[in-house]
Amino acid sequence: MAHQLLRFAMYKDHPEPRMFNTPDELQDSYDVVIIGGGGHGLAAAYYLAKDHGITNVAVLEKGYIGGGNTGRNTTIVRSNYLTPEGVQFYDRSVRLFQDLSQDFDLNIFYSTRGHYTLAHTEASLNTMRWRAEVNKHYDVDSEVVYPREIQSDVPEMDLECGGEMPVMGALYHAPGAIARHDAVAWGYGKGASLRGAEIHQKTEVTGINAESGRVVGVETNRGTIRTNKVLCAVAGFTPRVTEMAGFSTPIEIRPLQAAVSEPHKPWLDTIIVSGTLHTYINQSSRGELVMGSALDPYELHSTRSSLDFTEGLIDNALDLFPFTSELKVVRQWAGMADITPDFAPIMGKTPLDGFYLDSGWGTWGFKATPISGKTMSELVATDRVPELIHPFRLSRFAENRLMGERAAASVGH
Amino acid sequence: MKLVPCPLNGWRPASEFSYGGPVEEMPDPQQCSDEAWMEYVFSHEGAPGVKQEWWYHIASGTWFVAERDTVADKFIRSYLP
């Protein structure tokens, strides 16, 4: 062993295959440049190579792989949305997720848990019924359940919520799952890299070059790249990049915060969400409670954490699970989320030819990683908008065809 | 706790306030094009910077304008419109 180590210390080539190559030099031109090395950007690179044979691709990441919102979400995967377009889109994503470990030959720890969205009022129970019917229509497994069933599945929960807002029912979504988010980015990165795509970390895009309404290249902190196709997949930084590209979008940046408790023995095997209490909770495979809440209340381009958030979150979480009052919060963090007026993403073509947008992922982006990569790669390769993402086009705002996904996309409403 | 400067009541906890979005000139809805109206209703200068924003002090019912750096989260000044 020591001999082997010594031998490899003499060579530049690492003895073990790395997760992905890190080429030293940027080339002068690529067929496709993807801005953003998170799950979405890497998934697009992966499917560009795998489905469309396009491998002269550079993924430019200003920080490190999966260090943005891919590594900051609470890892929930589900498809129990409200609009038919949303349900079909996320259902395809859930199905792709289920095969990812096999595809990557890398365990993404995909764990189907079952997902409860609690209703504390008659109005939200009606929304749950509506969602259940839309879901069933598209063959997505969701149903409305009532307190007795919830209590027998989650005996630790106080359904009275301390007496203020008792749980009246829930939308139960059996395919709801969690996955290891870093592994999703690494798996896509590894697969894209093996097929020839280049991943350049610490490479920041500083400008978009256009000529007569067409994109012709990007400026980076490491030089200029010529390309006719740019995919922008930079959740939280979208307005900065679209400003470089010369158009505006309805996206507003808000921080979304999350926290985890210290690890303890397993007791919660489902995912619990309450819109009324602005809380979602699951227990990770390490035993930590992973908890999130509503968006911060105003625009902010920062990943700072706040005590206001933790206080509010824990106050509500203790209504559901009073016995966790002795648990300590060990980490909290924030990610910058692209928020759209209708709580649906913005995907597709833009006013600048050859510049494609994968954005507006707000608080619902991780679960869409596989399907956004799949559909955006098809769009970039063929310049035709796939049927599945046509409803999410940027021009829907001018056409007054908003999606109305708020009741199912976010907890803060 | 985050503090917000109210022109009437001084620095107060952020929980007493509601954010009202960026200050933007409203085009005449009867005269302007659909695109201009869409721009006004939906599109914003999303990139970071020092911005003029509407804020509402709930306790005293006061709407005011604040200038805020949206990267550093620092209020620069606030005034009654």
In a domain, A136, yes or no: yes
Counted domains in chain A:
1
pTM reported for the whole predicted model = 0.94
Compare CB distances from B45 to A248, A297, A298 and report the shortest one's residue.
A248
Task: Tell me which of A14-18, A207-211, A277-281 is least confident.
Answer: A14-18
A300 vs B70: CB contact, 8 Å cut-off? yes
User: Looking at beta carbons, which residues of chain A come within 8 Å of B45?
Assistant: 239, 243, 248
pLDDT of amino acid A412: 58
With H, G, I as helix, E, B as strand and everything else as coil, classify residue A236: coil
Interval B30-79: pLDDT, tens: 999 988 998 899 988 899 999 999 999 999 999 999 999 999 999 999 99
Nearest CA in chain B to A297: B19
**Domain of A317, in residue numbers:** 113-176+253-338
d(CA A408, CA A295): 15
Each residue's pLDDT tens digit, A123-139: 999 999 999 999 999 99
Give the residue-averaged pLDDT of A385-399. 95
Question: Which domain CATH number covers A274?
Answer: 3.30.9.10
Quote the minimal CA–CA distance from A396 to chain B in Å.
10
CB-based contacts of A257: which residues, under 8 Å, 6+ apart? A292, A293, A296, A305, A306, A309, A313, A332, A333, A334
- Average pLDDT of chain A to the nearest whole number: 94
Res A5 pLDDT > 80: no
- The rounded percent of chain A whose pLDDT value lies above 90 is 89
Amino acid residing at A120: H
Query: Is A297 contained in some domain?
Result: yes
A99 phi, psi to nearest 5 deg: -105, 0
How many distinct structural domains can be found in chain B? 1
β A252-261/A329-339 pair status: antiparallel
CATH of the domain at B23: 3.30.2270.10
B42 touches chain A (CB under 8 A): yes
The string of pLDDT tens digits covering residues A71-104 is 999 999 999 999 999 999 999 999 999 999 999 9
Q: Each residue of A214-236: pLDDT tens digit?
A: 999 999 999 999 999 999 999 99
Given a cut of 80, whether residue A8 has pLDDT beyond it is no
Q: Is the ipTM of this complex over 0.85?
A: yes
Using the Cβ of A39 and the Cβ atoms of chain B, whether some distance falls under 8 Å is answered with: no
What local confidence, expressed as pLDDT, does residue A2 receive? 74
Distance (Å, whole) CA A188 – CA A213: 32
Give the model's pLDDT for residue A413.
47
Mutate to test the interface with B, among A234, A248, A299, A311 (most CBs of B within 10 A): A299
B26 touches chain A (CB under 8 A): no
Quote the pLDDT of residue A7: 72
In a domain, A147, yes or no: yes
Residues 6+ apart with CB under 8 A from A48: A32, A54, A55, A57, A192, A197, A377, A380, A381
**pLDDT recorded at residue A17:** 65
A18 vs A188 pLDDT, higher one? A188
Q: By CA distance, what is B20's nearest residue in A? A: A298
Total Cβ atoms within 10 A of residue A234: 30
| A86 close to A362: Cβ distance less than 8 angstroms | no
Query: Domain containing B30: what range?
Result: 3-79
